[in-house]
Structure formats: C-alpha cells, structure tokens
Amino acid sequence: MTDLPQTYLITPATLDPAGFPDDLARLLDASPVACVRLALATRDEDEIARAADALRPVCHERDVCLVVTDHLLLAQRLGLDGVHLSAGTRGVRDARKALGIEGIVGSFCGSSQHDGMVAGEAGADYISFGPVGGGALGDGTLAERDLFEWWSQMIELPVVAEGGLGAAEVRLLTPFTDFFAFGDELWSSDDPVAALRTLRAAMADG
C-alpha cells in the first residue's frame, strides 16, 4: 500500500444537534476526511433524523459521505449516502438491493475473516474489523494485525480498522488498512482537532 489510509469519523453516541455540527466542521476543515458515520445510541427516529439533518449539510458541502449505523430506511428517507451495518453479514444483501449501486453499504465483522468475505460477496462496499486496541466493539475479541495483513494481500475490498486506536495501533496497521475510523479517540480529547492530527501523523510513521 503506497498511499496512506483515509480518515473515517464516527460520531459520539449522543450529540447536541445545535452544537456538534460546528465541532464536526472544524475537524473536516482541519484534516481530510472521507466519510462520517452517524452512530447514535438512541433508536428514536426523530432524534436520529434531527442529528442527520444537522450533519448532512456540513458533510455534503465538503464532499464528505455521511452514513448511518443500521437504520437502512432512515438512510433512504433522510438522503444519506448509505448505511453501516453493525451485525456482520446480516442485512448486507437487503441493503445493497435497497440502496442500489450508488449507495454505500458497510459491514462491521469484528475479527472474523469469514464474515468479512461473506459480507463482501453479499455486496458490502467495505468491511470494518475491530476493536484493534481494546474497547467494547463486538465481543471484545481483538482484530489482530495478521487479519489486516492477510486481507490487504488477498482481498481487494476496502477494509476499515476501528476501536481503541492509539498512535501505536495506527503505526502498526497503516500498511494494511484502507481507512482508520476514529470516534471516542477524538471526542474524549479536550482538542479533537489536535488528537486527529496526532493520529494522522502516526500514519506517516507507519
């Protein structure tokens, strides 16, 4: 891999639709970002819709894709770019059929090479593995470097690394992943812009 991985942002599980768009805009203006995932903990449709309506113009004015976790029907209704499915292979084929060729379908597959391959065959645009450095993603089983290395050598489908990403994990995986998905790594910092710059600098050291 000659190019550095791209940056993919994951929103906090709760956010203020009035204030968070400005925080997101500062990040998007400070550093190149390919995609933003709206990943709210709530299942309240109105709350998700308000957040999506607030973030969509921030993203689209900067040519950044906006996807939502799991809510396929809301992705279609709200004019988002696609959906990120958090349950491995489940729903990938239906999402691809519903969103057509243009829509983005991502699939989180934990640490399962097999699930990643099945999701890819079902029509996923990217596969996400994690956590890579600890955290509560999936069942907590770490997605090891060997998985990313194998995937980068054998599979053309883009792969995303997420969960517990510090500078050490970023340096380790930079040669073997297409995207790094940063979420709590940024929002737990007093200065998310500086935190992102530090993590991107680690890519150059990878």
Which of 86, 72, 81 has its CA nearest to residue 41? 86
CATH number of the domain that 144 lies in?
3.20.20.70
Structural domains counted in the chain: 1
In a domain, 1, yes or no: no
Distance CA 201, CA 171 (A): 9
At 24, phi and psi to the nearest 5? -65, -40
Give the number of other CB atoms < 10 A from CB of residue 71: 21
In a domain, 120, yes or no: yes
Nearby residues of 112 by Cβ (< 8 Å), 6 or more positions away: 88
In a domain, 65, yes or no: yes
Question: Which residue range forms the structural domain that includes residue 147?
Answer: 6-205
Which of 147, 140, 130, 115 has its CA nearest to residue 182? 130
Distance CA 161, CA 129 (A): 5
Which of 147, 94, 154, 149 has its CA nearest to residue 119? 94
The amino acid at 138: G
In a domain, 116, yes or no: yes
Digits of tens for pLDDT over the chain (206 positions)?
458 999 999 999 999 999 999 999 999 999 999 999 999 999 999 999 999 999 999 999 999 999 999 999 999 999 999 999 999 899 999 999 999 999 999 999 999 999 999 999 999 999 999 999 976 677 779 999 999 999 999 999 999 999 999 999 999 999 999 999 999 999 999 999 999 999 999 999 87
In a domain, 167, yes or no: yes
- Entry pTM: 0.96
